[in-house]
Structure 1
Amino acid sequence: MARAVTTKTKAINTAIAWTIAILIFFPILWTVLTSFKSEGTAIADPPVFLFFDWTLENYATVQERSSYFRHFMNSVVISVGSTIIGLAIGIPAAWAMAFVPGKQTKNVLMWMLSTKMLPPVGVLVPLYLIFRDWGLLDTRIGLIIVLTLINLPIIVWMLYTYFREIPNDILEAARMDGATLRSEVIYVLLPMAVPGIASTLLLNIILAWNEAFWTLNLTAANAAPLTAFIASYSSPEGLFYAKLSAASTMAIAPILIMGWFSQKQLVRGLTFGAVK
């Protein structure tokens, strides 16, 4: 039987939730507001919150100085491309680990996850030299390969977790009906795991979109995504906070909008199998 929750408890929980949400969202709100300030107002002491002369000059300057659309398209191609390739590799791998388990399955999963603990700078030099020799520096293909390899452990782990929640009896019934391995995966497994696959896809697009270390070190101009677009506003002359905020707002806006409209699917996927 579910426990009764009093009105007082609901009010306290709601207040705590709103407080946490405001604390998390406030830096984003401050960045957006700063993007509409002049440089002088942006560094004013004490800080000015709402009552200032709003201006679009920073956005105009950002557009004149660099091509936002080119960086945006690079981010889209790199994040979506690396995620799709990761899913194409991760789905068969997760299926094999979930439904044809071996004694070393858990060890393999832990080894894959442990690669995420490796400091990226530890492999920067050899990877940079490989990319230089193979002509992959400052190319979309090069970044897609790197981000696919970086996020593949997370993709396999998430898909493995979702696939484990699907009863094996259903797949065995499909095999008894004459389904081939390809038909079993495409027509039986994938439709049942759509929420998990969708949440994995969305999460990895966000991770690839926000990746800064590799995009800053392996690109120059041609394949530079929005992370490099933001970093370009840090110069030896100093930080121009208003223009930097405008660039940051333009960079995070697409992913915030996507997250807002896909939040139900994301939550559904992340809680897939949590309730029996």
Structure 2
Amino acid sequence: MTTTLEAPPRTAPPAASASRPNRTGTLLSVLAWLVGILFIVPVLWMLLTSFHSEADAATNPPSLFAPLTLDGYANFFGAQTGASPWPPLLNSLTASVLSTALVLLLSIPAAYALSIRPVRKWTDVLFFFLSTKMLPVVAGLLPVYLIAQGIGMLDNIWLLIILYTSMNLPIAVWMMRSFLAEVPVEVLEAASIDGCNLTRTLRTVVAPMVLPGIAATSLICFIFSWNELLFARVLTATVAQTAPVFLTGFVTSQGLFLATVCAASVVVSLPVLIAGFAAQDKLVQGLSLGAIK
């Protein structure tokens, strides 16, 4: 009996298109770097201009290698005018932190009811929340002003806290609902069997699981509140003046003091940058939660 030896199967040479994914990934990486540089260059230019004198900052074309000075920051902190920026900064911090805390206190139970324990016609409820953002802010400015004037709440920090809470609540409910929808129902059923009520379930079971989502929602609401200008500009004067309103005071009829404005912009942006840097890991997890099963 004779046996025949079969030749091993021949493998096809790798296709020429195998290197295309690598090239595509490289091109996308380069494009991402270019977009990132495009966004960061104005910020770096603002930071550099803040360390120039007013004469060097106003040159055309701008002087890149002009001598550095802290005059812009000194002017922002009242070296010439004597106006202190600390009350507006504290007002912005108070309004942003308290309104964000109120938003979380209200949005988490609402999102829980719309995702884990859905109410009847929950889609209509979500659409109602979204419809409140369809009205331009300026359209509601006059009624809000008249109401605040009637109840004696003009130039009051608590009025801004209430307004910022109502403005950010729909966004927070939508965000928290998407995060809470990822919580396994089996975990909640196990907590219910163990005797946890709704408050304890939210505090000890749900909140730790959606902590990245809570951090992302908090940071976004904080940024929106910190940057809000229109209501703060119209409804406040001196007592409840916020940092963005104080920042506009450097644009005067005498001209635009570019170095001082850049210095003020850097200082006003620092709290948001610090908050984003401190919560960057939670922010990335929260914004990507639900994208990958």
TM bucket by the smaller chain?
over 0.9
User: With structure 1 as the length reference, what TM-score do the two structures score?
Assistant: 0.93
**Alignment pair present for 1:152 and 2:169:** yes
Aligned to 2:62: 47
Unaligned runs of 5+ in 1: none
How far apart, in 2, do the equivalents of 1:144 and 1:102 lie? 29
* 1:1-276 equivalent positions in 2, closer than 5 A: 8-49=23-64, 51-64=65-78, 65=81, 66-276=83-293
Q: Is the 8 A contact 1:37 1:52 kept in 2?
A: yes
**Deviations 1:98-151, CA, capped at 9 Å, x for gaps:** 122234211211221121121111111110111112222111111100000000
| Deviates further, 79-88 or 255-264 | 255-264
In structure 1, what is the Cα distance between the partners aligned to 2:155 and 2:165? 16
Which protein has the larger Cα radius of gyration, Structure 1 or Structure 2? 2
CA distance in 2, matches of 1:4, 1:71: 56
**Is this contact kept in 1: 2:95–2:157, CA < 8 A?**
yes
Q: CA deviation at 1:8?
A: 3.9
Encode CA deviations 1:217-242: one digit per residue, 9 max, x unaligned.
Answer: 11111111110111111112221111
The worse-fitting range, judged by mean Cα deviation, of 35-44 and 204-213 is: 35-44
What amino acid is aligned across from residue 77 of structure 2 in structure 1? Q
Structure with the bigger percentage of helix? 1
Q: Tell me if the contact between 2:113 and 2:119 (Cα under 8 Å) persists in the aligned partners.
A: no
Q: What code does the residue aligned with 2:280 have?
A: Q
Classify the secondary structure of the residue corresponding to 1:117.
coil
Q: Which runs of 4+ in 1 moved over 6 A?
A: none
Distance in 2 separating the partners of 1:77 and 1:17: 36
Q: 8 Å contact 1:93–1:156 — kept in the other structure?
A: yes
Deviation at 1:5, TM superposition (A): 7.9
Q: Percent identity?
A: 41
Mapped contact 2:211–2:282 kept (Cα < 8 A): no
Q: What's the offset of the Cα at 1:259? A: 1.3
Length, aligned pairs only: 273
TM-score scaled by length of structure 2:
0.88
